[in-house]
Amino acid sequence: MNTREIVSTATYLASTKPAFLLSELCTYLTGDVPVTELYRSLSPHLHRLGLAATEVDGDYKISRIQKPAVYLLNTDERKRIDAFFAACKIPAILERAIEEYITKKVGKSWDDPVILERLRRAVVAQKDDYWKPSQRRRLQYTKGYRVLSYLAYHFPVYFMQTGHLLAMLARDGLLKKTMTVLDAGTGPGVVPLAIAEFYSRLDDATATVYSVERSEEHIEAFMFLREQCTHKGATASIKPPIRADITTFDPAQIPQQVDLLVFSNVLNELIDLSLEQRADLVMRFAERLSPDGSILIVEPAEEATSTQMRMLSLTLKKRGLSLHSPCSFVWGTNCTPDRCWSFVTAPSIMPTRLMETLAACNEPFRYVNTDIKYSYVVLRKDGKTKEKYRVPSGSQVLRLSQIHRHVDKRVNIIAAKMSEELGNAKTHMFRLCDGSAEKPVYAVAPSYHITIGNEGIVSAPYGSILELDNVLVRYNPKHDAYNVLVNRKTRIRQHD
Ligand SMILES: C[S@@+](CC[C@H](N)C(=O)[O-])C[C@H]1O[C@@H](n2cnc3c(N)ncnc32)[C@H](O)[C@@H]1O
């Protein structure tokens, strides 16, 4: 009896009824195979087949794993979430908990002048390190003040940023009524705590959040904030982080059916790993992803880090994951991401009391971090993409891979808007991508040329697909890039 026959018979039975006993397989198989033998052959394949086994009186009940329903936000939930974003503030309870944690760790009040001075030095050292090219960073989060300065400087922005990303996942129908989440490289629990906050605004959804982190100091901070800011019986259950190195982590330690896998500001820190090795790591974790689960990778908007993330995304696409968003491939081609610098912005947050206190010195700007800018990608195993649009064959539309042949000519293009405003109020500028361009392409629109017929270039959201009819192509030798000039005769339509 070979395994293939057992697997295909089980697949057949599962397609005919929601559940069956493993012993029923014997009716279809040649020879008398004991149930234990059947189970041994079938069990490694169950997860992939979307099946689960439960032992019943010496037999096994095999049933289809029920997909939790997609969770769509209702009007009240949307209002509550919008109100939270409009305040642009991290919850007061979290602000106070961070202050208390600093006080607890240093044994003096967080606003003691000596402590503030040490925090300032740590913030500056961490920032200097953070913006260095990745090969030159030291990035140690093990010394006490580095974690405290992370809490003071980075945590508030990343916390709100995660809220915006969760709202986006909800809008895109990627949250489920019951979710299992895994956050890899969780630090002081930014993502889990943001999930707890987000879910507290939902009526009827629950999440169980697992996380992995290697730094003991970060875990200690996470456990303190979790204790102060979450409570038993809440809609999100935040599990204590697993202490481990994600590069050697055995995913068997986490549940089989993870619905959302998050790598927030962490993959860029794995400076010893090549692109292929980072892809291996993500694929290893993806083994635990449910067939309709999502992987969210987020990185700082800084050019080198952001571009590296796009290269990783394409590598993962070539390994079989689909790029759900924000990228779209309107010609069905693979892209050339080595100069792809694309990021999102969200409204700045209000400085926390701790930031303001740190800023009460000669160089206040060094200690206030309120801008939200990030690069992200959502990947899937099931081929699902946010945009399904493909340019119909026979369209009179230029592929951006051919733009060099059309310099100084007027053309029609279809491309996604892949930046927020890069220009100014006088001359708008936005990055465009149709998935085929080898060099960056920008739409340039002087404000006096903006009309009702082309204002979509300004108002369309990040990632939306635009049809641009009648734009003039120019080459920009200084940046080795192409500009397409929008004027009054240009018509722009946002694709539905
Ligand atoms: C910049 S912090 C990001 C924390 C959090 N995810 C966020 O977005 O704010 C990076 C975190 O990843 C952790 N980290 C880096 N390399 C790791 C590894 N190989 N295994 C586990 N954690 C790692 C660091 O200790 C740190 O806590």
Whether residue 335 contacts residue 377, with contact meaning beta carbons closer than 8 Å, is answered with no
Closest ligand 1 atom to Cα of 130: 1
Indicate whether 138 and 157 sit together in one domain: yes
Q: Is any atom of ligand 1 closer than 6 Å to the C-beta of 161? A: no
Instruction: Give residue 266 CA to ligand 1 midpoint distance, Å.
Output: 5
Mean pLDDT estimate for the chain? 93
DSSP 8-state code for residue 435: S
Chain-centroid distance of CA 104 in Å reads 33
β-strands 410-417, 441-446 pairing: unpaired
User: Between the CA of residue 98 and those of 78, 149, 220, 303, what are the distances in Å?
Assistant: 28, 10, 12, 30
Distances (CA, A) of 191 to 162, 320, 403, 464: 6, 26, 41, 26
Does residue 338 share a domain with residue 299?
A: yes
pLDDT tens column, 175-203:
999 999 999 999 999 999 999 999 999 99
| Residue 268 structure tokens | 């860029």
User: 218 CB less than 6 Å from ligand 1?
Assistant: yes
70 inside domain:
no
How far is the C-alpha of 327 from the C-alpha of 378, rounded, in Å? 9
Quote the pLDDT of residue 495.
Answer: 86
Q: Cβ distance 431 to 493 under 8 Å?
A: no
* CATH code (residue 413): 2.40.50.140
Q: Which two tokens stand for residue 317?
A: 């696409």
pLDDT for res 286: 95
Cβ of 149 less than 6 Å from ligand 1: no
Ligand 1: does its nearest atom lie under 6 Å from the Cβ of 211? no
Same domain, 323 and 410: no
Residue 489 identity: K
Q: What is the pLDDT of residues 77-108, one digit of tens each?
A: 999 999 999 999 999 999 999 999 999 999 99
Q: How many CB atoms lie within 10 A of CB 211?
A: 24
Q: With a 6 A CB cut-off, is 213 part of the ligand 1 pocket?
A: yes
The CATH number of whichever domain residue 216 belongs to comes to: 3.40.50.150
Give the pLDDT score at 69. Answer: 82
Query: 427 forms bridges with which residues in the sheet?
Result: 446
Mention every residue, 6+ apart, whose C-beta is less than 8 A from residue 80: 201
Dihedral sign, CA of 388, 392, 397, 398? positive
Q: What are phi and psi of 432, to 5 degrees?
A: -120, 150
Given 37, 64, 91, the domain boundary residue is 64
Strand spans (E) along 42-123: 51-56, 59-64
pLDDT of residue 352: 98
Work out the pLDDT band at 142, boundaries 50, 70, 90: very low
3-state secondary structure of 467: strand
Mutate to test the pocket of ligand 1, among 140, 269, 309 (most ligand atoms within 8 A of CB): 269
Sign of the torsion formed by the C-alpha atoms of 316, 320, 325 and 329: positive
Question: Whose Cα sits closest to atom 14 in ligand 1?
Answer: 185
pLDDT by residue (tens digit) across 265-283?
A: 999 999 999 999 999 999 9
Does the beta carbon of 162 lie inside 6 Å of ligand 1?
no
Q: Where in the sequence is the domain holding 453, given as residue range(s)?
A: 400-494
State if residue 216 touches ligand 1 by the CB under 6 angstroms criterion. Answer: no
**Rounded-to-integer distance, Cα 261 and Cα 270, Å:** 17
The number of distinct structural domains making up the chain is 3
Which pLDDT does position 133 carry in this prediction? 56
The one-letter amino acid at 432: L
Bridge partners of residue 431, in order along the sequence: 442
How much is the pLDDT for 2? 78
Q: What is the CATH number of the domain that holds 55?
A: 1.10.10
In the chain, % of residues over pLDDT 90: 79
> How much distance in Å is there from the Cα of 141 to the middle of ligand 1?
8
Domain membership of residue 392 (yes or no) is: no
Nearest atom of ligand 1 to the alpha carbon of 249: 20
Determine whether the shortest distance from the Cβ of 480 to ligand 1 is under 6 A: no
In a domain, 109, yes or no: yes
In a shared domain, residues 374 and 235: yes
What does the alpha-carbon distance between residue 416 and residue 376 come to, in Å, rounded to a whole number?
Answer: 15
In a domain, residue 162? The reply is yes
Structure tokens at 338: 């080595």
